[in-house]
Structure 1
Amino acid sequence: MKKEEKLRLGISIGDLNGIGSEVVLKTFEDSRMTEFCTPVIFASVKILSFLKRHYKLSINFHGIDKTSQILDGKVNVLNVWKEPVDINFGNEDPKIGGYAIKSFKAATEALKNDEIDVLVTAPINKNSIQADDFKFPGHTDYLDQQLQGNSLMFMVTDELKVGLLTDHVALKDIANTITPQLIKQKIETISLTLKQDFRVSRPKIAVLGINPHSGDNGVIGKEDEEVLKPTIKELNESGILVYGPYAADSFFGSDTYKSFDAVVASYHDQGLIPFKTLSFGKGVNFTAGLDKIRTSPDHGTAFEIAGQNKADYSSFEEAVFTALEIYKNRSEYKKLTKNPLKKQPRRIQKREES
């Protein structure tokens, strides 16, 4: 952590036709947020001033053209572009997608160069971001290429944490994608993440089956018997407390998840449907497994309500606090591995509700 400085929290603006800019501005309209961090929004003062007026918000910006001009106590806006932008709320637009990627790339570069400490990304539209110089399904895949490590989509709240063996993979390809090597990599990443980023000293991890009823002993597919179970056994023998595979259909409804520090789902919807059902509005998407910290809210662009001043910013605010807390936990973990007797820090206290 930088001495005598607040953590610099970078923000990519996301799809300007969606609700991303609204939740960003509403989060930092409360000046108390700058007591926790120094926000740096990668966009343009001109477009954010327009959005501020549109949403009738009272928020002041400190416009800058380079990170050396960042000021504590201000909502900094780094001008990634200066030309006018035509916003049409609710519409999918490749031009707007291009500005989302300009913002995201600039913020990622600043993160790589330690000009910001953590990154929080506002939602993008996966179709409109596709371009000759950006052919990635989303934020995570690009960050995996740019930053060190092996990325893992980790959906988190205080009560529930869900990691994915496969994320943006077509359903028909899942069984062939899940290999012993992949399982080991993802579960080892989750185990380390729970220790260094969430202060869980001895994590217990549950794994959901690939097939219905975890294959019913091979009757409904053999992947659980031949791939998951032997790999889980190997991981246990290596000292990681991992259990399963559990049948996914009853795992969350029976509250079994409450007995574990994290749950590993085999594929995207198997994990995200129950996660969002149980925690929507409070959940955070954390990209685990990298040497840098990135979080985002647990929702998308919500084109259907964009521009209507209806967006709930609580998930984005939660993503901000989670990024800051992970940074502090990880920094302390590194110190503790060198000096095990050093006392751990207290949890960040979120601002009181108005």
Structure 2
Amino acid sequence: MNPRKNKPVIGISIGDINGIGPEVTIKALLDNRLLKMVTPVIYGHGKVITFYRKQLELEDFNFMQIRSIEEVHHKKINVINVVEESPEVIPGVETQEAGKMALAALDHAIKDLKDGKIDGLVTAPLNKNNINSPEKKFIGHTEYLTEAFEIKESLMFLVAEDIRVGLVTGHMPLKKVAQHVTAENIRKKLDIMLKSLQNDFGIGKPRVAVLGLNPHAGEDGLLGDEEENIIKPVIREYKDKAHLVFGPYSSDGFFGMMHQKKFDGVLAMYHDQGLIPFKSLAFETGVNFTAGLPIVRTSPDHGTAYNIAGKKIADDGSMRAAIMEAHDIIKNRGDWEVEED
């Protein structure tokens, strides 16, 4: 047991303060089960939490303002101010100030992760438009964290109760996807997925389905040759090494017949091929997990949702699931002997 505390400290970067991130964070932390499982630390600003607490009419939602992670209180919800000035909160409006704060929150949390002062990170949604600057290009949380921890390869892994989908290619234009569907890239992502299923999800001998790139998985070369020349040979390699890897499957028929329930993981070739079925099946409980990193990072599977920000109707199911998933992965990695009540 870690002598500092008896439960993991989970950082929550606030994301875009004008989106639904603060609302779903507050709503999720109203669940007393979470406070028994983890010590939450919100990287944001006390004025933001106070604004949404008042708007949501949750005056009994209490938190402790701390100056740094060294002051963390393990029986409270903690909030660290990542900027000195009080931010202006305008729900549903994209502002440069909100983007600046979202990046400051993420960078502060990453520093504490690197220093070993928090045990995992849950990232609330942010807006790539207002977070980007000429000095620092931001493609997505997955890429940003991969670079921050100097890891050559990670895996965007969308997980829910009965579906886990990883991606060979992530945030890139569709016209570039085919050139990145190479045997080397498929092997890299398969290796990360198989290792993650074992170490992060506790599955001893995982079964993985690999999707094709083309319609009908190429239909024996009629609709494209990537399946015959690239994907099938890689699958054979893994089968020869006694891995339970199958495919390639046509994604429409695969998900249409709910075959994902027969597998522990599904490797999709590109972003929308994997995320459209995932979000259709598990939008309210889905979690985005970055596999392959030395630290645990999860997030809800939705965006800032400016259209409903400030309207008190955002569903916190995915945020709650992201916090619980972070806890479970930390436990599965063997970093904690989590005490049961």
Determine which of 76, 79, 85 is the counterpart of 1:77. Answer: 79
Distance 1:287 1:348 in 2: 27
Partner deviation per Cα, 1:26-70 (whole Å, 9 max, x = no partner)? 111344432111110011112221221122112111111111100
Which residue number corresponds to residue 286 of structure 1? 289
Determine which of 171, 175, 179 is the counterpart of 1:172. Answer: 175
TM-score, normalised by the number of residues in structure 1:
0.92
Distance 2:250 2:145 in 1: 32
Written as runs of structure 1 = structure 2, the 5 A alignment for 1:1-354 is 2-3=2-3, 4-57=5-58, 58-149=60-151, 150-331=153-334
Q: CA deviation at 1:146?
A: 1.2
Contact 1:46/1:82 (<8 A) preserved: no
Contact 2:169/2:180 (<8 A) preserved: yes
Contact 1:190/1:288 (<8 A) preserved: yes
Number of aligned residue pairs: 338
TM-score, normalised by the number of residues in structure 2:
0.95
AA of the residue aligned to 2:221 = G
Distance 2:18 2:245 in 1: 42
Contact 2:162/2:260 (<8 A) preserved: no
Distance 1:257 1:39 in 2: 33
Q: Structure 1's 148 and 199: CA in aligned 2 closer, same or farther, altered over 3 A?
A: farther
AA of the residue aligned to 1:265 = A
Cα-Cα RMSD? 1.7
Distance 2:191 2:33 in 1: 38
Partner deviation per Cα, 1:74-93 (whole Å, 9 max, x = no partner)? 11101111312122211222
Distance 2:270 2:85 in 1: 41
Q: Structure 1's 348 and 248: CA in aligned 2 closer, same or farther, altered over 3 A?
A: farther
AA of the residue aligned to 1:34 = L
Distance 1:39 1:347 in 2: 17
Partner deviation per Cα, 1:180-218 (whole Å, 9 max, x = no partner)? 111001001000000011111101100110000111111
> In structure 1, the residue corresponding to 2:129 is in which secondary structure?
coil
Contact 1:209/1:247 (<8 A) preserved: yes
Distance 1:346 1:217 in 2: 50
Contact 1:325/1:347 (<8 A) preserved: no
Distance 2:84 2:233 in 1: 56
Distance 1:17 1:84 in 2: 14
Partner deviation per Cα, 1:102-153 (whole Å, 9 max, x = no partner)? 0011111111111100000000111111113430211111100112542111
> In structure 2, the residue corresponding to 1:153 is in which secondary structure?
strand
Greater mean alpha carbon deviation, residues 55-64 or residues 232-241: 232-241
Q: CA deviation at 1:231?
A: 1.3
Partner deviation per Cα, 1:280-323 (whole Å, 9 max, x = no partner)? 10110000011100000011111110001000101100000000
Q: CA deviation at 1:16?
A: 0.7
Greater mean alpha carbon deviation, residues 180-189 or residues 91-100: 91-100
Q: CA deviation at 1:94?
A: 2.4
Distance 1:195 1:244 in 2: 20
AA of the residue aligned to 2:198 = K
Which residue number corresponds to residue 339 of structure 1? none
Q: Structure 1's 98 and 346: CA in aligned 2 closer, same or farther, altered over 3 A?
A: closer
AA of the residue aligned to 2:43 = F
Distance 2:96 2:222 in 1: 46
- Structure 1 residues not aligned, in runs of 5+: 336-344, 350-354
